Amino acid sequence: MKLFIDSAEIKEIEEAAATGLIDGVTTNPSLIAKSGRPFAEAIKEICALVDGPVSAEVAATDFDGMVAEGRALGGIAENVTVKLPLTWEGLRACKTLSEDGFLTNVTLCFSATQALMAAKAGATFVSPFIGRHDDVGFEGMQLIRDIKTIYDHYEELETEILVASVRHPLHVRDAAMTGAHVATLPPAIFKALLNHPLTDKGLAAFLADWQKTGQTVPRA
Ligand code: G3P
């Protein structure tokens, strides 16, 4: 499963990218606002930090505006992925931009029928928000399973499921068990993927016992 970082904070992205284990970045208008950075400047800098797809969301809600903004965003760097809302205008713009060769990410997905339509519009990615689904008493992970079931039936649907609005490592585990293609993680959750007290305890015990041998491990 590909792991993206869900942030517009350069330092957070740099730290995660340094692990060599992230495959892309997603941003959205709220994350850009939180960063306090000029939009195009931030996206250009992020695109230079990672080789993988970097999602940058349009602000327009009409077809012409979304296409114009999408083309401009796509011109910032080859790995820019134009993020579009799951509306009729957004799907029209997705179809046009995808046919023109731009990477696209249809966002704010909350139903399997929405995800089916995003795939029919040729989206590179669809972003079902599982955390926000859970927040209102629905099971976000069931949405992922339903979308995966539908997509697996039709080889012509090439859209990748990009699991978003992830709240904890169990969301990542469960998403991976569904076979979802991507999960985009807040930096803190990316870091938490490795957390386990028994790993820490076991390593401390190994090192303490090794210390007692008085030996050193040869180095090349
Ligand atoms: O990229 C979508 C993601 O940022 C939404 O997450 O936590 O605002 O639901 P959240």
Q: Are the beta carbons of 105 and 73 closer than 8 angstroms?
A: no
Q: What is the residue-averaged pLDDT of the chain?
A: 98
The helix, strand and coil proportions of the chain, stated in percent and rounded to the nearest 5, come to 50, 20, 30
Of residues 187, 189, 205, 186, the one with CA closest to residue 197: 205
What is the distance of C-alpha 191 from the center of its chain? 15
d(CA 161, CA 103): 14
Express each pLDDT in 194-214 by its tens digit: 999 999 999 999 999 999 999
What number does the ligand 1 atom closest to the CA of 135 have? 9
For 125-177, write each residue's pLDDT tens digit: 999 999 999 999 999 999 999 999 999 999 999 999 999 999 999 999 999 99
* Atom 5 of ligand 1, nearest CA residue: 165
Q: Is 26 in the pocket of ligand 1 (CB under 6 A)?
A: yes
> Which residue matches tokens 């992922």?
144
What residue type is 192 in one-letter code? A
Strands 160-163 and 182-185: parallel
Q: With bands split at pLDDT 50, 70 and 90, how would you rate the model's confidence at 193?
A: very high
Work out the angle between the directed axes of helices 10-17 and 39-49 (0-180°, nearest 10).
10
Per-domain boundaries in the chain = 2-213
Q: Are 115 and 89 in contact, with CB atoms under 8 Å apart?
A: no
Distance CA 137, CA 219 (A): 55
What was the pLDDT predicted at 51? Answer: 96
Task: Find out whether the beta carbon of 27 lies less than 6 Å from any atom of ligand 1.
Answer: no
pLDDT value at residue 166 = 98
Distance (Å, rounded) from C-alpha 114 to C-alpha 43?
27
Q: Is 83 a catalytic residue?
A: yes
Which residues on neighbouring strands pair with residue 125, listed in sequence order?
A: 105, 160
Query: 193: CA distance to ligand 1 center in Å?
Result: 18
Say which CATH class 2-213 falls into: alpha beta
pTM, whole model, 2 decimals? Answer: 0.96
CA 180 to centroid of chain Cα atoms: 11
